[in-house]
Amino acid sequence: MARRPAADAGITVAPNPNRVIVRLGGAIVADTTRALVMRAPGTPDQQYIPRDDVDMTRLVRTELVTHCPYKGDASYWSIQSPRTAENAVWSYEAPYDDMAPISGYLAFYTDRVDAIEERPPDPPR
């Protein structure tokens, strides 16, 4: 399958100035002020979160792999918190060069978690 440049598809990646919190089953699975937001025509904005800001103890890697002609191959995880959300998280661990900023970041399916909240960051103390 041929690779297509992300810029040709109108895909952009930029820092999100807001705090992003992901919740499932009453637990916080991710909490970051370092998310990247991916925008692509015809799709909702997608938050990509650094692994350091995700509770990786709640994630279990699965065997699912998918391919995007713009980003590359995606690996998947299920969340266990206290209920299980199958293949709810994905990551491009070695994306194409023009998608390098999302390398190793994690993204969450909005319909497989309870909430992905965006709010202004806490003021400095």
Nearest-angstrom CA–CA distance, 71 and 103: 10
Q: Answer yes or no: CATH 1.20.120.160 is held by domain 10-118.
A: no
Residues 47 and 107 sit within 8 Å (Cβ to Cβ): yes
Query: Which residue type does 91 have?
Result: S
What pTM, to 2 d.p., does this model score? 0.92
Could you read off the pLDDT of 36-70 as tens digits, one per residue?
999 999 999 999 999 999 999 999 999 999 999 99
Residue 92 pLDDT grade (very low, low, confident, very high; cuts 50, 70, 90): very high
* Angle, CA of 74, 14 and 1, to the nearest 5°: 30
**Extents of the domains making up the chain:** 10-118
**Tokens at 81, concatenated:** 């918190």
